[in-house]
Structure 1
Amino acid sequence: LLIPLAIWKSESFTENLNQESALWGFYYGMCIIMCLYHLFLFVSIKDITYLYYSAFIIGAAGFTASVMGQGHEFIWGNFPKFSRYSILVFWFFAVASFSIFSTKFLELHRLTPILNKIILGFFSLWTFFLFTIFLFPDIRLISRLLPIFAIVSFPFIIVAGIRSLQKGFKPARLYLLAFASFLLGGLIYAAKSIGWLPHNIFTNYIMQIGNIGDFLILSFALAGKWNLMKDEKEHAQKEAAAHKEALANSYARFIPQEKFSLIGKKSVTEVSLGDASEAEITVLFSDIRSFTTLSETMSPTENFEFLNALMKRTGPVIRENNGFIDKYIGDAIMAIFPDSPEDAIHAGIQMKQNLFLYNARRKVKGLPELRIGIGINTGRVIVGTIGENERMDATVISDAVNLASRIEGLTKQFETTMLISEQTLFRLPDPSKFKYRMLDQVYVKGKKEPVAIFEIFDGDPPEIFSMKCIMQRSFEHGVQSFQNGEYSDAINIFKKILNVNNDDVQAKIYLDRSVKFSKQEKILVFNGFNH
């Protein structure tokens, strides 16, 4: 047994005592600051790891105070029984706290479940001794067991840190460094105690220096883990947001996002069965003329390739003009323009122009010319979800939609490309922007009042467009004469138009009608065709 003995002069002793007091004040001050700081983090972040770490700091500081006698001198001197057991109490409290802290900090339940169970077993053992220590009349036996417990348990904790690091848990590096600091301090202190190292201020306080280093390094480790968790959380949130966006984009390829906006929803995830709202929109229908005959000459694969090639030219035009395709119906499309009827007409004109260029390329390849029909109508509609909870769809319900479809069908009878209703024309901010002529008043199935329809001839081939502009007033005069039952006047007008422009198909149709009506035995006043 080595008992260090030093003889001091009075002044030197006082000076040394003041230095020691300052050092101990610094040590315990650091312990208090670190403990309070991590308790604050526990309250703020709600991560119990910080609570366990604060408990470990209390245990380590209490153990030191017990060993050095400062606890008995300044804190629990009036409790002699506790003073007798305080070394063991704080030892078990410190190692129990550090054990449970290690399992949480190193995430052993996820990375190394077996080591997690072993260290939790040691935690249970330390906790058992902590609460039963006062039942032992002789503490010498249990005191002798302390080094054995440390030798047995600490290697598992070291291995747990190494395994966590091997599994890619980066904060385990600082954890191992902190443990190494603690062990190094213990080894130096042991070497000093058995005489291998001299007694000096460094070796005398190496345990405390090791503790402070341990506390600081583990604090950095906790901060690193928190930053890692924060980064992982942000990464997970970004991935979740990207997945949600990708999912929304995928849904949008089948159900347009704009349709959800019409019912006041931001995305498909907010939609419920029965959601609905009313709005005024413009509906555009378009389909390919004689597609059935055309499709019979192609294989199924060629049919889809042909349709997709054509739709790729149509979709961008719709979107560029503030509309969206609501649905594909075979070779037809239904598009919605929620802002202005003008958008729909611009889109229709552009579709005509694109088709003209597309047909020019087909002609070079020896392919037949394609023709389309475009019908446009404006009105109030109900946009909502129908179906059942397991299968629903967003749809648009209104006579305005049915009328747009039927107007598109009239393009076949009048052999024209683009027709609009009077509702669309009258809602245009400036109808003079477009070239149009009244084509007819028709009774559409399901409607009691006749509907005026107008041909938009913007986008027609230049020579046809020019002649229609020249003969526009004459054509409308001829239509008015026909509707008034003045068939002879109508015949003369349409003949003059055809003498100037023999390619005016609609003038030919009216000429044939006028001749047919003029031959009736009883003159009938025209009051609209039924379609």
Structure 2
Amino acid sequence: MLQKIIPALLPLLLISCNAPNSTDKFAVSYFRDSTAKLEYKDAIRQNFTSVPDARLFAGNSADAIWLKVEPKQAIDEQDAAWFLEVYYSQLDHVDFYQNNGRDVFYSGDNLPYKERPIDTRNFMLKLNHAELKGQPVFIRSTSSGTLWIPVRVLRESEMIDVQFRENIWHGAYFGLMGVIAAFNLVLAFSFRDRMYAYYSLYAIFSLLSMLSLTGYSFQLFWPNQAYWASRSFLFFGMLGVIVASSFLLRFLFLKDKESISRKSFRLLQITAFGSCFLAYLYYTIFLIAAQLNMIFFTITVIIVASNEAIRGKRAAAFILISWSFVLLGFFLTVLSFRGMILGPDTAVSIMMSFSALETILLSFALGDRFNQQKKDSLEQQIRLTDSYARFVPKQFLTFLKKDSITEVQLGDSVQREMTVLFSDVRSFTTLSESMSPQESFDFINALLKRIGPVIRKHNGFIDKYIGDAIMALFPGTPEDAILASIEIRQLLAVYNARRAGKNMQPIKIGIGIHTGRLMLGTIGEAERMEGTVISDTVNLASRLESLTRHYGVTTIVSERTLFGQQNPDAVNYRIIDHVKVKGKDDSVAIIEILDGEADEQLQLRLATRAKFERALQAYQGRDFDTAFDRFSEVLQVNPVDSVARMYAGRIAVFREKGLPPDWDGVQVMDNK
């Protein structure tokens, strides 16, 4: 990023630095009047010291500085007019003495702008014929701030070229700051985030501060407010510190009111605010206070940003880099003012360059923060959606053709054929009586967390948890549901083995499975809705699960489910009855899935399956004697066959009480 920004700024900086001038044709010397009271006639008699590069830095002093500017040799003036310029605008008094002191032109920040001999933001005087031939021009300067007095002598063409170059550089800087300020102000109103407003104000105050430093504000905005013009540069700088602190508190998420970082910024804001009042009361103290405040502010920013970056805050890295450039720019500016590097004429350009670089980096920081917030928001939305998905299965959304839970509307529905599996823990009420509420929930969750993965493994999804029961949907083939039921039983056997090792009662479940068309959709009202499945298919699957208790088996499936498989004989099963469940007019054949039983019991069931089927056939044909004998034979081999025992009991009742007149072999279930 920096590899692209810095090369882009360098050409503009070079434009402002490499302006041509003819100052080397003139000799510049100075005299320091420590009393600041000498008149012209006395000052010109003093010993003047040469200023080789025509750029004098006299520090912060109340002295008056006298400069003498004279050509090294007579200059032919036929080609153009010549101008003498003091090109630092922050001087209280700059008085030009021409024609041996007979003509005096007063200017400076402490005088109205209209007093200047030439309408320009710096201090300029047109040289006359005598001065080009050798007559010296004297300049008297004083300032309550920095006494930096850079002088250059320009032909008219050179002056135009210099001003053109400076206008390009300054215009680029002012335009950049204006665009950034306006853009962030729009963002502040768009996002209703004060952070962007603070940054916009920071850019505005930086812009106004530089306009004051370069003299444009005095020339364009308040030409009659000399008192304000000399104070506006640092005054806007202090306002910049105040809003920048508020910006950083938000940008770095420094919300802890007791943190040292937050207290430091608040203290800097208070001192900056106080410094603004000093500008009108004690200007010299204001200068010192403002400069110290800016130094401490920059150092504080770097320390706080470093600390936050170490803690892993990505945003802090941008702040650290950008304000490191501010600190570097500050030291380079000071060194340039003193003529130690580059030269005082580049000091303002350096200050503006690093200010622009800082602002650009902060804009990148805001952009990165916005992208990070957008990413975090998206991740939060994904987490939220995933959280909802734990309540509303993703497959449910898929069938409704929705990408997100937020798109689901009340009444959305779709019709499909699916296999429904109901599973319930038997005698849970009795089990829970010996448990605390927390233990009851722990027990249910321990069981369900084992069943859930099995359902998903076989391409199903759990639509509802109903206490200790579940309802799962299998949109694929009936095999998926049947294979899932078998694996659940195998898993339960392992679970019960662990419970037995802890002297705990084994868990028994019932599973009912039916296949048919059903409606998936949302029900409820605007403030509370949920996904559900509506169909006789669901009701029948629930009834089949209930029948497992009646028949003493674990898994019952409907005829449609079993023979809806491509290869029904891939599993071991036996038809155990024809029933008419409550709420249904038609009877349905119910089938026990044998796979999943303990090996010994499975072998016994398989060994007696043929006899059981012949017994059931005789029972349906009203040959109760044969049926009874066959069921008895089954029980001799497998005494725990609850279905065979149930049929033997029914036949005993028929023998005792007689056969109901409307009996057709279908068992009518009055209970759910």
| Fold shared per TM-score above 0.5 | yes
Q: What pairs with 1:54-65 in structure 2 (closer than 5 Å)?
A: 63=216
CA distance in 1, matches of 2:369, 2:248: 18
Instruction: Give the equivalent residue in structure 1 for 2:565.
Output: 428
Picking from 566, 580, 592, the partner of 1:443 is 580
Using the TM superposition, name which of 354-363 and 86-95 deviates more: 86-95
- 2:362 aligns with 225
Q: Note the C-alpha offset of 1:413.
A: 1.4
Which has more helix, going by share of residues?
Answer: 1
- The DSSP-based 3-state class of the residue aligned with 2:66 is coil
Structure 1 residues 458, 155: CA separation in 2 closer, same or farther (over 3 Å shift)? Answer: same
Deviates more, 1:257-266 or 1:371-380: 257-266
CA distance in 2, matches of 1:285, 1:83: 84
Partners of 1:299 and 1:160 in 2: how far apart? Answer: 61
Equivalent residue number for residue 329 of structure 1: 466
Deviations 1:273-325 (A, max 9, x none): 54444443332222223333344444555444443433333233223223333
Kindly provide the CA deviation profile for residues 256-276 of structure 1, in whole angstroms up to 9, marking residues without a partner as x. 454444444455544555444
Matched, 1:30 2:173: no
Aligned position for 1:175: 326
Alpha-carbon distance between aligned partners in 1 of 2:76 and 2:542, rounded to the nearest angstrom: 107
Aligned residue for 1:318? 455
Query: By how many angstroms is 1:418 displaced?
Result: 0.2
- How far off its partner does 1:409 sit? 0.8
Q: Which moved more, 1:82-91 or 1:350-359?
A: 82-91
- 1:526 alignment partner in structure 2: 664
Distance 1:280 1:150, change over 3 A: farther
C-alpha displacement of 1:348 = 1.0
Check the 8 A contact 2:551/2:643 in 1, yes or no. Answer: yes
Contact 1:315 1:325 in 2 (8 A): yes
CA contact (8 A) 2:278 2:285 kept: no
Output the amino acid matched with 2:170: C
Q: In the aligned structure 2, how far is the partner of 1:530 from the partner of 1:518?
A: 19
Post-superposition offset of 1:417: 0.5
In 1, Cα distance between equivalents of 2:228 and 2:591: 97
Rounded to whole Å, the distance in 1 between the matches of 2:231 and 2:409 is: 58
SS of the equivalent of 1:358 reads helix
Q: Note closer, same or farther for the CA distance 1:84–1:64 as it changes in structure 2 (3 Å cut).
A: closer
Tell me the C-alpha RMSD between the 2 structures: 4.7
Contact 2:208–2:217, Cα closer than 8 Å, also in 1:
no
| Paired position in structure 2 for 1:494 | 631
SS in 2 for 1:2: strand
Following the alignment from structure 1 to structure 2, what is the Cα–Cα distance between the partners of residues 363 and 298?
17
Matched, 1:402 2:539: yes
Counterpart residue number, 2:487: 350
The one-letter amino acid of 1:30's match is W
The TM-score normalised by the length of structure 1 is 0.72
Offset at residue 113 of structure 1 (A): 6.2
How much does 1:520 deviate? 5.9
Deviations 1:143-201 (A, max 9, x none): xx998976675555555545555654634443344445455555x38xxxxxxx9xxx9
**Equivalents in 2 of 1:102, 1:498: separation in Å?**
94
TM superposition shift of 1:214:
1.0
Structure 2 unaligned regions, length at least 5: 1-64, 80-152, 187-195, 250-261, 306-318
Residue type of the alignment partner of 2:326: Y
Tell me: CA distance 1:386–1:10, structure 2 relative to 1, closer, same or farther (3 Å): farther
Alignment map for 1:342-381 (pairs within 5 Å): 342-381=479-518
Distance 1:39 1:501, change over 3 A: same
Q: Distance in 2 between matches of 1:266 and 1:377?
A: 29
How far has the Cα of 1:213 moved from its partner? 1.0
Alpha-carbon distance in structure 2 between the residues aligned to 1:522 and 1:341: 37
1:281 maps to 2:281? no
Structure 1 CA distance, aligned partners of 2:173 and 2:405? 50
1:64-97 Cα distance to aligned partner (Å, 9 max, x none): 997xxxxxxxxx9xxxxx9987999997886677
Q: How does 1:221-300 map to 2 (within 5 A)?
A: 221-300=358-437
Could you report, residue by residue, the CA deviation over 1:473-506 in whole angstroms, capped at 9, with x for unpaired residues?
A: 5534443442233434433543454455555432
Query: How many residue pairs end up in the alignment?
Result: 487
Deviation of the 1:448 alpha carbon: 1.1
C-alpha deviation, 1:403, in angstroms: 1.7
| Residue 2 (str. 1) matches residue 84 (str. 2) | no
The equivalent of 2:87 in structure 1 is none
SS state of the match for residue 71, structure 2? coil
Structure-1 separation of matches of 2:385 and 2:452: 19
Q: Does 1:216 align with 2:216?
A: no
1:437 aligns to what SS in structure 2?
Answer: strand
Q: Tell me the CA shift for residue 374 of structure 1.
A: 0.8
Amino acid at match of 1:414: Y
Q: 1:386 to 1:120 in 2, by over 3 A?
A: farther
**Deviations for 1:241-268, whole angstroms, at most 9, x for unmatched residues?**
4544444454445554544444444555
Q: 1:347-389, CA deviations, whole angstroms, 9 ceiling, x for partnerless residues?
A: 2111111122233344444444432211112333344444444
Measured in 2, the distance between the counterparts of 1:173 and 1:509 equals: 88
TM-score by length of 2: 0.59
